[in-house]
Amino acid sequence: MTLGTLLYPRLPRGAARRLIAERSDLDLAELEALAALQHPDAEPSATGGHPADISKLREVQSAVRAAAVAAGYPKPLGGAIQNFDRPCGSLLYELMGIVPADAAEEGVWSFLTLVMVPEIGPWRFPAQAEERLIGRPRNVLRRTWWRAWALGPNLESAPAGCEALGEDESVQIMERPSLGGNRRTARALQSALWRAEANGLQVPRSELMRQLARRTRAVKSHIQFDVLSDEALDELLDRVTAQCLEAIAT
């Protein structure tokens, strides 16, 4: 299943903050033991779809945990964060059957992160910053789902000779709503980066992405990308890429 109309329980911010405060001293095994599929303060949207049943919640819980184990859980991730983020985003996107409107709800991701898989957030982000645990846009799971929506669904695939997008590169697109909120633009940017990489880059790719995102946003303020054919859009972004490379080189 890709997109459906399943509604997930929403954990209010107050309850989420209480859980974070109560559990701040627990280790991963203790947090794992506290996992649950329901919470007395959580409820799905009253209307707009069908509430995800317990078996669906369990399926999502198991899948996130399997992705974490495949990435080395409970050992620290170190620099290999994409070993978890990319497969996690793709599987959440494929499995949850949640619509983007519900996937933009803070409470949904607070519930998943703090109730269903409470050990995953502190493992992926050991500093346990609240913004990674509460379901806001930088939440440990929410950000991966939205990356899969905008750039995927398979976040691990890349053309021959190219690497899938890294953390910094994804952030450059996703944290600019005018780029990350428009799927066609986001994917065109990703492809432009890969074309530049395939042609041989003399500069770090993440630096190029930083420049490319900034300049593309400026161009988008007066050029409507969605009226351009795919070829014309690629041509435009290749031109912007060339300007970026020139600017980095000087």
Partner 1 sequence: MKLPVVPFLTPPHEAISHGDWLLTTAGGDVALAKEVPHWDYQTTLELAAPVSVDRQAVTDACQLERTSGLAVVVMARSNHTNVERVAARLDLPMNDAFDLAVQIRLDGAELGGRLTLETLLVVTEPKPQSHLAPQRPGSIIWRRSTWTDLEGSGTQFPTDTMDFMTAGLDPNAGWQLKIDLSDPDARFMSATRLTLNSAHPSVVRMLGGVRDDGTEQLLRTLNWDITRQMVQVAIASDDVCQMDMDPDGTSVAAVLRNLLSRIWPTESTIVLRRWLEHDPGRIEVRLQHFSRLLK
**How far is C-alpha 211 from the chain's CA centre?**
21
Strands 6-7 and 50-51: parallel
**Could you tell me if 135 and 16 are in contact, meaning their C-beta atoms sit under 8 angstroms apart?**
yes
Binding mask 96-135 for partner 1 (x = CB under 8 A): ---xxxxxx-------------------------------
Which residues in 3-137 belong to E strands, given as ranges? 6-7, 50-51
Q: Is 231 a binder of partner 1 (CB under 8 A)?
A: no
Give CA–CA dist 190/145, Å, rounded.
17
- Among 14, 40, 79, 200, contact with partner 1 (rule: CB under 8 A): 40
Q: Measured on CA atoms in the order 24, 30, 34, 35, is the torsion positive or negative?
A: positive
Q: How far apart are CA 128 and CA 25, in angstroms?
A: 11
Part in contact with partner 1 (CB under 8 A); list of ranges 18-26, 36-44, 87-95, 199-207: 36-44
CA 119/CA 26 separation, integer angstroms:
9
* Per-residue x/- track, 51-70, partner 1 (CB under 8 A): x-------------------
Question: Does 38 participate in binding partner 1 (rule CB under 8 A)?
Answer: yes
User: 21, 29, 127, 227: which one contacts partner 1 (CB under 8 A)?
Assistant: 227
Q: Which is nearer to partner 1, 8 or 73 (CB)?
A: 8
Nearer to partner 1, 99 or 248 (CB): 99
135 to each of 80, 139, 210, how far by Cα in Å?
Answer: 23, 5, 26
- Burial class of residue 172 (count of CB atoms within 10 Å of its CB; 0-12, 13-18, 19+): buried
Q: Which of 74, 126, 177, 204 touches partner 1 (CB under 8 A)?
A: 177
- Exactly one of 73, 84, 111, 225 binds partner 1 (CB under 8 A); that residue is 225
Region binding partner 1 by CB under 8 A among candidate stretches 49-57, 71-79, 117-125, 158-166: 49-57
Question: What is the contact surface with partner 1 in residues (CB under 8 A)?
Answer: 3, 5, 9, 38, 40-51, 99-104, 177-178, 180-183, 221-228, 232, 236
